[in-house]
Amino acid sequence: MQLQDILYSQGFGTRRVCAGLIQQGFVQVYDHSEPPAPVKCVQSTAEFEAEGLRFQVQGVDWPYAEKAYIMLHKPAATECSQKPSTYPSIYTLLPSPLRLRPQKGAVQGVQAVGRLDQDTTGLLLLTDDGKFIHRMSSPRHHVPKVYEVTVKHPLDARQVNQLLAGVVLDDDPKPVRAAACEAVSEFHLRLTLTEGKYHQVKRMVAAVSNRVEALHRSQIGGLRLPDDLAPGQWRWLRAADLASIAGEPAEVCLTT
């Protein structure tokens, strides 16, 4: 694959822009030495094996990824929308290549896998793999999501048991149950859900006569939000990370 086409596929601009970056000496490709060293390449049509390729653009390291899979520690006061209404968009936290990766149709770049409310923090997945988004969003797969909930009033066994048995929400006569529920402390509830309804955690807690004061998603499937990933920071997902989310081997092309 030509180097200009590799950069284009990774979101560095049009092919003309990518060719210009290369010809101006802003691109270095890691060679096969031990340890690998970046080597400047000024030929935009130079051929490389894309899979496993690592390179630098303007001094920043990038791995080639056929599809991008990342995790973001969503901070409070941000919106999971390309066109936010009140608070900054989470997409402003990502570098432009991730936002500009070419896709079929009008949509560009990685998209959030589901949404978190503007005041909710924690683990958020983003990808440009439409099949992965559909699989993760489908209620048939029942991917568990763990939330750390700070509540206004003291918790008791009745509230926990009600959430496990099922509560009725305004727009759905069928009871909604927590897959797991634990009162970690007097005002800290750990709630596991396998479906995603609008403001579900807040509405379930309200249904047992309590109120959510703060909400944080700590885990999706078997993937926990790393302790060293600060609010606003993002990280590539590894193959093992993706496998742990679904609880099965990952059948996707990931960076290493």
> Residues 53-70: pLDDT tens digits?
999 999 999 999 999 999
Is the predicted pLDDT of residue 11 greater than 80, yes or no? Answer: yes
Phi then psi dihedrals of residue 23, to 5 deg: -65, -25
Structure tokens given for 64: 């080639």
Tell me how far apart the alpha carbons of residues 101 and 63 are, in angstroms, rounded to a whole number.
14
Is the predicted pLDDT of residue 172 greater than 90, yes or no? Answer: no
> Residues 181-231: pLDDT tens digits?
999 999 999 999 998 888 999 999 999 999 999 999 999 999 999 999 999
Residues 6+ away with beta carbon under 8 Å from 154: 186, 187
> Residues 77-131: pLDDT tens digits?
999 999 999 999 999 999 999 999 998 877 899 999 999 999 999 999 999 999 9
Is the predicted pLDDT of residue 4 greater than 50, yes or no? Answer: yes
Catalytic residue, from 117, 156, 172, 227: name it.
Answer: 117
Whole-number pLDDT of residue 255: 47
Give the three-class secondary structure for 246.
Answer: helix
Whole-number pLDDT of residue 140: 77
Residue 229: closest CA among 122, 118, 90, 87? 122
Residues 6+ away with beta carbon under 8 Å from 58: 21, 26
Structure tokens given for 18: 């990518």
Whole-number pLDDT of residue 251: 44
- As a whole-number percent, the residues of the chain with pLDDT over 70 amount to 96
Domains located in the chain, CATH noted? 3-63 (3.10.290), 69-140+222-246 (3.30.70.580), 145-220 (3.30.70.1560)
Confidence of residue 253 (pLDDT cuts 50, 70, 90): very low
Question: Partners of 216 in the beta sheet?
Answer: 121, 148
Whole-number pLDDT of residue 44: 97
DSSP 180: E
Residue 212: closest CA among 243, 192, 188, 228? 188
Total residue count of the chain as it appears in this document:
256
User: What's the chain's average pLDDT?
Assistant: 93
Is the predicted pLDDT of residue 143 greater than 70, yes or no? Answer: yes
Of residues 43 and 103, the one with the higher pLDDT is 43
Whole-number pLDDT of residue 135: 87
> Residues 12-41: pLDDT tens digits?
999 999 999 999 999 999 998 899 999 999
Confidence of residue 247 (pLDDT cuts 50, 70, 90): low
Residues 6+ away with beta carbon under 8 Å from 157: 183
Give the three-class secondary structure for 50.
Answer: coil
Whole-number pLDDT of residue 87: 96
Whole-number pLDDT of residue 252: 45
Q: Is 31 one of the catalytic residues?
A: no
Q: Global pTM?
A: 0.92
